[in-house]
Structure 1
């Protein structure tokens, strides 16, 4: 029997992502999604373990790995045992290494890292550790889906790859080359370059190079202001080719593209915005009521908290090591009615992945209050389940 005093305690989850600076809009939307998901999907349903409530604690890392480690230490010193982060694989890499080191040195104060969006494949491969769980498909899994679509389009003969100069941008480029070479060796890669992250004010020079290459398609992992700048510059050159992206939606991006994005912008995503499931449509209405100027840009966040709650109930405790063990191999149906499975070997979520197209037709859920949104074009069931992992995980005794 859990005492009333014990049941009333909150389970705090530190949200460490940019709440200021150039990527603040994305971070703020992520934080608000965590808040609402905690309320609607857990707290309002009675909480966990006899009534404990989830509490989301925002911590601004300003998009910096160094500042993230400062916030991580602050969270741990304050007794928080669950860390959520997703914006930037460079930040995720710093956090996962710090968490693993902390847990080895302080087995009485272990913490768990819930990665909801950082996509560098290394995080569940060579850099994997027991305390890290990823709730998004990684770059190789998403690129596998993108290149399936490209491979089926015989009109695409030339592809230009461009991205941000950090671990995730490099992972996207490497995956694009690998999968295109395997699936369509006849396709010429006419450009493969990286640019400084968050520092380019004018992408016109990059867009001019892309247009001059006569590419039939563009692939980019850009996000935030870099996606806005790059996409807008490409479209303004008059280049009318599909742009395959990871994050070309929401946060002002959809509104910026508007009519010009029709028939051009593709997004690889676990979300199914249009048509939406009834459950997601209801959740989205609640989010928009509370945050009329924002969108749910990371809907997988909802599943993170549902998954965490289910693991705690299975473990019958909120102790991180027990919850981690309960999470391994756990299955759940997400808000879209699709299966989620946490692979025990590398703590990588396995889920369906969609390729979405930017459109203004039959839109139920739009983005940026623009009248434009994302329509499901194709789906890869259990994407990446057959891809190998190099993870050699050491588990605590």
Structure 2
């Protein structure tokens, strides 16, 4: 009996082992592949203090762009698809704090730095990146700039390691002054801005371009104020009214813009405002009815740019609003989406996340969607893209479909400026490392 049972037992054991092997093989085939190391992006910007809301809006936009890429598998490299990952560093919008945060970023060996909410910070970071990359060639960094628009950053301070994805102050001013040139009712202009490199450049560009295009216009005021420190702009508005200004040009942003336009509204100041950022956080609600038909802004895109319901632009914006349905989160920066998409494509083209290879891949790179196109000019690393001059309207007027931040106010396109008409010459003399 014993001898008869042994072969059967052996057969049963073999069958069980075979079944286990098959089950293990099937489980291994069904198990997800181990995640590849993320490609890290470090954001240095103001996440606390008076401009924290602007920094938070950037985090939302960058995070949204990264999620869109990761949802389709990440960035394709020869060893597989790598997710993008964002790390944030709070610089409190100060230059010294930014340099401290930059050292932390490089200590973590993060290859891609993004920043934008201060041209003074951007200038300091360009210098820091240049020195760091020369000192530590095995730990280089590429600097992607989403909003710092001082023209010097792509002219005398241009760097192989720096790329700007917003229009420069001169490019934006060109769009604004073309509108002023066409308005024969504008005779007296007041210029006001923040007292740092960007604000000074805005004032310089406004004076030069107005003088060239409309020498009959009188500049009745030209002043700068401390950035982020003025709590009451009523005295400034009083000077504008006293000077008889019928138009105001400002590059103010963040709380400095919203407080300025609130003061104008409270004082009943009816002049036209030609701004860079009147469509930005909190500004439409602050301007309210006083801005309808008079306040203008310039940007690379806006929610009503599509022109008709069902357009690709509309669909893109509505997808963002599904992700962020709260009115306070309603601010979409198209250029940040473009920046992250172009970075991902450059990494794939370079077949590497090595900063030098990616920088070369970004030079001359093109971006194309159903409603936007852009090219990274190799000469100075300035993105060339269309611009929209837009005019503020009430949402219930029938002229627009989307308002800003649930304010009841939004913008309609007044003038579309094709990419080729935004191009300005550059004085950049790029120094490039060997390939």
Alignment of 1:225-304 (within 5 A): 225-276=255-306, 277-289=313-325, 292-304=327-339
For the pair 1:307 / 2:334, whether they are aligned, the reply is no
Structure with more relative contact order (C-alpha pairs < 8 Å, separation 6 or more): 1
- For 1:21, the equivalent position in structure 2 comes to 49
Looking at structure 2, the residues matched to 13 and 321 of structure 1 have their Cα atoms a distance apart, in angstroms, of 15
**1:355 corresponds to:** 389
The structure 2 residue matched to 1:193, chosen from 209, 223, 247, is 223
* Structure 1 residues 380 and 103: CA distance shift in structure 2, 3 A: same
State TM-score, norm by structure 2.
Answer: 0.87
- Between Structure 1 and Structure 2, the one with more helix by share is 2
Q: Residue 160 of structure 1 contacts residue 190 of structure 1 at CA under 8 Å; is this kept in 2? A: yes
User: Alignment partner for residue 190 of structure 2, among 148, 154, 160?
Assistant: 160
1:264 Cα deviation (Å)? Answer: 2.2
Partner of 1:44: 71
* TM-fit CA distance, 1:37: 0.9
Q: Which runs of 5+ in 2 are unaligned?
A: 1-32, 307-312
Counterpart of 2:125?
A: 95
After TM superposition, list the pairs within 5 Å mapping 1:338-349 onto structure 2.
Answer: 338-349=372-383
Q: Distance in 2 between matches of 1:386 and 1:271?
A: 17
Corresponding position of 2:19 = none
Q: In the TM superposition, what is the alpha-carbon distance from 1:198 to its structure 2 partner? A: 0.4
Q: Which moved more, 1:183-192 or 1:131-140?
A: 183-192
Tell me the number of residue pairs that the alignment of Structure 1 and Structure 2 aligns: 390
Say which one has the larger Rg.
2
1:215-266 CA distance string (max 9 Å, x none): 1210000001100111121233322121011111232222122222212211
Paired position in structure 2 for 1:381: 418
Distance 1:105 1:309 in 2: 26
Q: Which of 136, 140, 146 pairs up with 2:170? A: 140
> Alpha carbons of 1:383 and 1:172: their partners in 2 closer, same or farther (altered >3 Å)?
farther
Matches of 1:76 and 1:343, distance apart in 2: 27
Question: Matches of 1:71 and 1:394 in 2, distance apart?
Answer: 26
CA contact (8 A) 2:317 2:332 kept: no
| Number of the residue aligned with 2:309 | none
1:299 shift after superposition: 2.6
Q: Using the alignment, how far apart are the partners of 1:207 and 1:132 within structure 2?
A: 38
Would the aligned equivalents of 1:350 and 1:384 in 2 still touch at CA under 8 Å? Answer: no
Q: CA-to-partner distance for each residue in 1:60-108, whole Å, 9 max, x for gaps?
A: 1111111111111101101111011110101111111100110011111
Q: Which residue of 1 aligns with 2:362?
A: 327
CA RMSD across the alignment: 1.5
Query: How far apart, in 1, do the equivalents of 2:266 and 2:297 lie?
Result: 19
1:270 and 1:331 map into 2 onto residues whose CA distance is 16
TM-score by length of structure 1 reads 0.95
CA gap 1:52/1:294 in 2 versus in 1, 3 angstroms? same
Unaligned 5+ residue runs, structure 1? none
